[in-house]
């Protein structure tokens, strides 16, 4: 499984044509304490850059964008009961949704972990 990052601070774990999507630790730190998460419904088609989920913190509400095009296969139901999972484990148990990629080539333009760390350091 390979992990990729976007300039909008989403991460993807890609395994074949399936991706698990969440927000990075950096994004969570910028938002502060997460108090609500709305994940997309299974079966929803998304295009790269579309609004896919919503995350609300004590500071602000933000959209989470689809990092690639495809079809949502599952939203993280645990976040409805415990949105704080994003605070404690944003790049693990706090994932937002899983999707089937329709164009795996879109992933090749994303950053690996080293490139993302360099990107964040420059912000």
pLDDT per residue as tens, the chain (123 positions): 899 999 999 999 999 999 999 999 999 999 999 999 999 999 999 999 999 999 999 988 999 999 999 999 999 999 999 999 999 999 999 999 999 999 989 999 999 999 999 999 999
Residue 5's pLDDT is: 98
With beta carbons less than 8 A apart as the criterion, state whether 84 and 76 touch.
no
The domains of the chain, with CATH numbers, are: 2-102 (2.40.50.100)
Question: What does pTM read for this prediction?
Answer: 0.95
The sheet that has 45-46: what strands, in order across it? 2-5, 10-15, 18-23, 97-101, 70-75, 45-46
CA distances from 77 to 52, 107, 121 (A): 15, 25, 33
């Amino acid at each position: 499984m390979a992990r990729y990052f976007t300039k909008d601070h989403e991460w993807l774990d890609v395994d074949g044509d399936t991706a698990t999507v969440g927000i990075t630790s950096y994004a969570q730190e910028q938002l502060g304490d997460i108090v609500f998460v709305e994940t997309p419904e299974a079966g929803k088609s998304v295009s790269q850059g579309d609004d896919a989920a919503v995350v609300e913190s004590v500071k602000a509400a933000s959209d989470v964008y689809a990092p690639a095009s495809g079809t949502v296969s599952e939203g993280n139901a645990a976040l409805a009961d415990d949105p704080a999972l994003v605070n404690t484990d944003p790049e693990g148990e706090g994932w937002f949704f899983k999707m089937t990629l329709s164009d795996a080539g879109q992933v090749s333009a994303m950053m690996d972990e080293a490139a993302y760390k360099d990107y964040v350091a420059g912000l």
